[in-house]
Structures are given as structure tokens and as C-alpha cells.
Amino acid sequence: MPEMNIVQAVNSALLEEMQRDDRVILLGEDIGKNGGVFRCTEGLFEEFGPDRVIDTPLAESGIIGASIGMAFYGLRPVPEIQFLDFIYPAFDQIVSEAAKFRYRSGGEYPCQITIRSPYGGGIKGGHYHSQSTETYFAHTPGLKVVIPSAPYDTKGLLLSSIRDPDPVLFLEPKRIYRAGREEVPEGEFTIPLGEAKVVREGADVSIFAYGAMISQCTGAAEQAEEVGISCEVVDLRTLVPLDIDAVLDSVRKTGRVVIVYEATKFLGYGAEIAAILAEKAIESLEAPILRVAGLDTPFPYTHENLYLPDAGRILDAVEKVYSF
Amino acid sequence: MTKLLRVVSPDGKYKEKDEPPLSEEELLKMYRYMMLTRALDTRGMALQRQGRIGFYVPSSGEEAVQIGSSFPLEPRDWIVPAYREQGAALLRGIPMAGIMAQLYGNEEDTAKGRQMPNHFTSRAAHFVPTSSPVGTQIPIAVGLGWAARIRGDNVVALGYFGDGATSQGDFHAAMNFAGLFQANTVFVCKNNQWAISVPFGNQTGTNEVAIKAQAYGFEGVRVDGNDVLAVYQASKEAIDKARFGGGPTLIEAVTYRMGPHTSSDDPTRYRDEAEVEKWRKKDPIVRFQRYLKEKGIWNEEMEVEIRQEAEAQVEEAVVRAEKRGLPSPATLFDDVYAEMPWHIKEAKEAFLEYLEKS
Ligand SMILES: Cc1ncc(C[n+]2csc(CCOP(=O)(O)OP(=O)(O)O)c2C)c(N)n1
Ligand SMILES: [Mg+2]
């Protein structure tokens, strides 16, 4: 089996799906000859030509709106938004249109598009190349939100997303695009949406996270182990729909919860998990639920490392809930 | 095609009747600022390559557009920039030390190290904070110019953007508002032929930008963006017109991005070196130098002096920036709101407590 990093896993998924299904087409800024600013579409323009790998004008609303129309016509567009921070000209097309077509047509106009976009901090990108604003989208009924944390999952989840009958926002943790390689199958292979993955089993504290935060969480879990705290790290992988069973199973086992995300803490995805646990698992909880998240400020440049959750801050929270 | 305005030909020749009425001193000031911008860009890229700053956006090749268009502005006017306007920032009076502090994101940066390099801002210089999203600044330039009109002030807002930005909805919304409300706004499109890897020919079905103004009911002009005097002339007319109630103008300055898009970009992946070479021969600084020589107000000695002076100014700012520390972490929580709400206060306390402990 070949070893791949996340960029290569994205590329491999796109290549194979385009070979398998000629309805799949890509649209985006700089994705053609340049292969994407992160090189996720490298070689695809040469392979499939300018009708299937389209360098668009600089207009996100155009990219997404046109993708929706193409989907109605029977194509399977996989548009790329260069950075999640630049998706807002298309916000209307995504939340008012793509997300609602199935519903407002009584099911007659499903909208099968998969929007890929790199998200998150850690690359010294300042306000607009760093944000983690998945919650705006997860808050919109009709839209699925998927965030992988490793190459293997990236490929399996991207293939499932492209084949999913609903619009999917597929967010790629750019900070770990090239962080490590692992074996990724070639050929037919999918991971179902809506299934979390326990990346590390533990008995004392459940840590829920996704994307680039997973490696920070496993790092914290290793350090916790040394002081005798056993952490379970659950990679949610799909934010919508959430794998509620995986979350409840883990909490029933540990009774203590830390939720980690790099978005702004206030009203971030962790707020929803905490609310769900308060509704469905209050009898299992043995400590307050803590969130370790980005600061409640815009994303900074010089001090991005202080803004972003790291293993130290996660460990601090783990110790707090453990010793409560 | 809208006629391309030009005052100085690439070899430095000109007709006296086309020359704008600028004094020798003013001409040399323009030249100095173009040289200063080039010196900053050369050093900025080097600093990034050496890992001393995190990122840089060079504007090489676009000095004539920046200096020519902002030169006629008065202090009460406004600039609403994109991220490639360091020359205009300098001319507006942001000191080199301030530019460098921003590039380093250090404690002397007036924006407290919050934005990535090249995102300059200055209230005093009426240089509106730079943003990365392409095109968002254009309606803001309209708002400034429109407000001036509503208040009856002879104040102008000048908005910069690239050729790529003309594809955004915000560009069209801005143009429509400006035309309808006759805002005191001048739009300067720096058509540098590329939007990262996308050539201008793949950006729009029209083969120029200027013509788009027609659809919004005002004038669009095309100017040789590597001819600082042509840019100055067109901008001066547009600025005067906007100032005295004549409404907006769209200026398309035809120029070239000689360097990479940013320090993260590798243009050899998507454009031919031959094309770059062709444009390098049209270098706006060289053209202006030839003109000044033709006029007899330039010589080798002066050239050396101007270059050394520019480099020294940059060097001095680098030395200063490297001596400064980072902004204090506590400042991260300032300026989110005028008054800090409880949840940010709590976050700040927890954050400082954690920093102390770790
Ligand atoms: C809304 C938005 N989409 C995408 C980007 C990424 N991006 C940054 S600059 C750029 C190209 C801009 O081209 P142009 O407007 O011609 O300006 P230039 O860089 O040539 O000065 C792109 C696509 C962005 N910053 N904002
Ligand atoms: Mg451009």
C-alpha cells in the first residue's frame, strides 16, 4: 500500500473518482496549471483537461453558485475554496441555496456538491489564512460538515463526501497537510460519513476533537498517562451528522469530558457537545465539561501559538476534570 | 479597446505638451519614493527568505501605479488599499520604521502584531487597514467617498484593487453604488496581468477593465501603468473631478507583477520566463529614470545617492525592528470591543494564569 500525506490523499481521491465517474469536475482558483496553492490538485489539469479541472475567475459566489447549477444538470462538482477564510462571498450560495434546495423543493432538487477547503491555524497566516469557522456551517441544516485528521481518513471520507447525495463542506487541516504519511489504499475504499473514531482508548477522561487538534490531544493523552490519567481521544471526523453513539459511549465509560477545537471558544462546536451531554448523559458526568479552544478574539499573527490550543493547555484541562 | 494613455515612451521620450505640470522637486520626490519602494521590496523578500519575517508581498513592477496615483492626494483624502500598496503607504507618510514593525509584527507595530505582513494601517495617514479577502475593500472606498459627498466635503477616497478582484461581486456592487450616488471615489485597478496563477485573459470576457465603468454610468480610463506620469495625470484628473462633485472614475493601470504573487508562490509553475523578461524591459523605474535624464535632472551620482539613501532607510528600520520585542500576550484581548465583555475578561484571566503557570 502506498504511503501518503493528506495532500496526496486528497489528490488520490480526486484522481480516482474522476477516473471512475466522468461527471466529477473540479472548479476553483489556481487549481489548474498551478495545481492548487497547496498542490492538492497537482497533475489533474494535465490528466483531465480544462473542462474538468477549471481555473475560475476570482469569485467564490460564482464558483459555488455555478457548482449548484451544474449539480442540477447531473454533474458532480467538487469546488475548492482556496482558504476557508475566503468562503464568505459564497456564504449566501452555501447557506441560503445549496443547504436548502432539497428541503424547499420537497426533495426534488438535491444538491450534490462537495466543497473542499483548507482551514485552521498554525501556518503563520494571520487573520485570513487561519480561521476555523466550521460552526457557521455546522449550524446550517441541510449541510454536512466533514473534517479528517489523517491521510487514510482523508481519502475514505472525501470519496464518501463526493458520493453523498447532500452538500458537504469538506475541511482539510492545512497545518498538517504534510505533517506525516501513512498507508492509504489505492482503489475502491470509503469511510462512511457520521462515524467517529476512537484514536486512543482510555478510562478516565474523554477528549473529543477533530482535524488538526487530534495530534495535540494524543500528545496531551500521552503526557496524562505519565501522571496516571487514562484519556480516551475520540476523533469526531464528521461534525454533521454527529456520531452521538460514539460520544455517549465514551462518556458513559469515563464520566469526564474535555472538548478541544481551535475555533473561538464562545459558541464553538464544543458548546453543542456539552449541551447534548447535559441533555442526554447528565447522570454519567462526574465533573464539569471543559472546553479548550481558540481565544475569543480574532485570529492573531504574532501570537498564534498562544491562541491555538496545544498539548499543555489540553493537559491542564484534563487534570482539572480528573481532580474535580 | 479604450485608448491607453501614455506620457513617456519606454525609451524615455516625451512630448512637452503631454507633460503634467510638476516641478523638478516633485518629479524627484516621485522617483525617490519609487526607488524606496523597490528597496523595501528587495529587502522584504530577502528578510522572508532568511526567515526573519514570516511572509512578504512584493510590489516590484507596480511602483509607478502606486506612486503616480497617490501623489495627487491631500492629507484629508483616504486610501483604501489592497495588500500590495507599500509604496502608497510610504508616500502617505507611514514611516519606514512603522512598515518594518508591521512586517516583524513586533511591539512597535501600531496594530500590535495582529495582522500578517504587508497588511499596513494608519489612522494618521488615512490609510485604511489592509485586509486579505480580495475585493472587500472596494465598497468601503465607496462609503468613504459617498460620505464625503453627503457631508459636502471636498474629500476623496481612492480604492486600490487587482485585476482578479474585478471578478468579485463586491467590485460590481461598489461600482454600481458609486455611479448611482456619485461618490467622491476613484477606483484604481492595478491590472498586473495575473491573479496568482490566473492570467488576465482568463479572468473576464472583456479584454480590459476600464470598459466596465460604462455599465455603471461613469468614465473608465486606461493608462500605461509603467509610466508614472501617465498614471499621475489620469489620477490627478480623476481625483480633482471627484473632489469637486464630478463623481467617480475607474482607472485601469496596465502594469505587471514582476515578482511572485507572494513569498509563498512559485511563478515558474505557471508563467513563462520570456513574458517576465519582456516586462522587465518595461521596468517603470528605468522608464522614469530615462525621462529624468532626457530632462537633464538625473545623473549617475544622483542615482547612487538616491539608491544608497533608500537602502539606508530600509536598513535602519530593519536594525530597529530587530531590537524590538514581541507585543505582550495580554494585548491579544484588547480592541475586540470598545469595552471588554465578561467572557473575554474571563478568557484573558484564565489565559494569563495559565501562561504564568507554564
Ligand atoms: C476572497 C478571496 N479569495 C481568494 C483569495 C486568495 N487570493 C489572494 S490574492 C489572490 C489573487 C488576487 O489577484 P488580483 O486581484 O489580480 O491582485 P494581485 O494579487 O495581482 O495584486 C487570490 C486568489 C483571497 N485573498 N480572497
Ligand atoms: Mg493581479
Residue B344 structural domain: 329-358
- Condensed to tens digits (0 to 9), the pLDDT of residues B224-244 reads 999 999 999 999 999 999 999
Cell numbers for B9, please give them.
515612451
Do residue B285 and residue B348 come from a single domain?
no
A3-183 and A197-322, same CATH topology: yes
* Calpha distance B130→B82 (Å, rounded): 6
A323/B contact by beta carbon, under 8 A: no
Q: Average of pLDDT values for A41-67?
A: 98
pLDDT confidence of residue A188: 84
With a 6 Å cutoff on the Cβ, whether A306 touches ligand 1 is: no
CATH code (residue B80): 3.40.50.970
Cβ–Cβ under 8 Å, residues B44 and B37: no
Do residue B129 and residue B266 come from a single domain?
yes
Do residue B151 and residue B267 come from a single domain?
yes
Do residue B121 and residue B137 come from a single domain?
yes
Containing H/E element for B199? Answer: strand B198-199
Q: How far is CA B200 from CA B3, B207, B225, in A?
A: 18, 8, 15
Question: Which of A218, A316, A92, A298 shows the shortest CA–CA distance to B335?
Answer: A298
Distance from Cα B163 to the centre of ligand 1, integer Å: 9
Q: Average of pLDDT values for A35-48?
A: 98
pLDDT confidence of residue A267: 97
Per CATH, is A3-183 categorized as 3.30.565.10? no
Do residue B123 and residue B166 come from a single domain?
yes
- pLDDT band, residue A151 (cuts 50/70/90): very high
Which residue puts its alpha carbon closest to atom 7 of ligand 1? B134
Chain A residues touching residue B358 (CB < 8 angstroms): 312, 316
pLDDT confidence of residue A204: 98
Close Cβ partners of A320 (under 8 Å, ≥ 6 residues apart): A287, A290
Its pTM stands at 0.97
Burial class (CB in 10 A: 0-12, 13-18, 19+), B25: exposed
- Please name the fold of domain A197-322: Rossmann fold (3.40.50)
- Condensed to tens digits (0 to 9), the pLDDT of residues B289-321 reads 999 999 999 999 999 999 999 999 999 999 999
Chain A residues touching residue B265 (CB < 8 angstroms): 37
3-class secondary structure per residue, chain A: CCEECHHHHHHHHHHHHHHHCCCEEEEECCCCCCCCCCCCCCCHHHHHCCCCEEECCCCHHHHHHHHHHHHHHCCEEEEECCCHHHCHHHHHHHHHHHCCHHHHCCCCCCCCCEEEEEECCCCCCCHHHCCCCHHHHHCCCCCEEECCCCHHHHHHHHHHHHHCCCCEEEEEEHHHCCCCCEECCCCCCCCCCCCCEEEECCCCEEEEECCCHHHHHHHHHHHHHHCCCCEEEEECCEEECCCHHHHHHHHHHHCCEEEEEEEECCCCHHHHHHHHHHHHCHHHCCCCCEEEEECCCCCCCCCHHHHCCCHHHHHHHHHHHHCC
- This model of the complex carries an ipTM of 0.96
In chain A, domain spans: 3-183, 197-322
Report the mean per-residue pLDDT for chain A.
98
Domain count, chain B: 2
Do residue B217 and residue B357 come from a single domain?
no
Q: pLDDT above 90 covers what percent of chain B?
A: 100
- pLDDT band, residue A11 (cuts 50/70/90): very high
- Condensed to tens digits (0 to 9), the pLDDT of residues B42-60 reads 999 999 999 999 999 999 9
CA angle (B292 as vertex; B286, B298 as ends), nearest 5: 95
Q: pLDDT above 90 covers what percent of chain A?
A: 99
Please list the ranges in chain B whose pLDDT falls under 50: none
With a 6 Å cutoff on the Cβ, whether B81 touches ligand 1 is: no
A303/B contact by beta carbon, under 8 A: yes
With a 6 Å cutoff on the Cβ, whether A86 touches ligand 1 is: yes
Q: Average of pLDDT values for A179-207?
A: 96
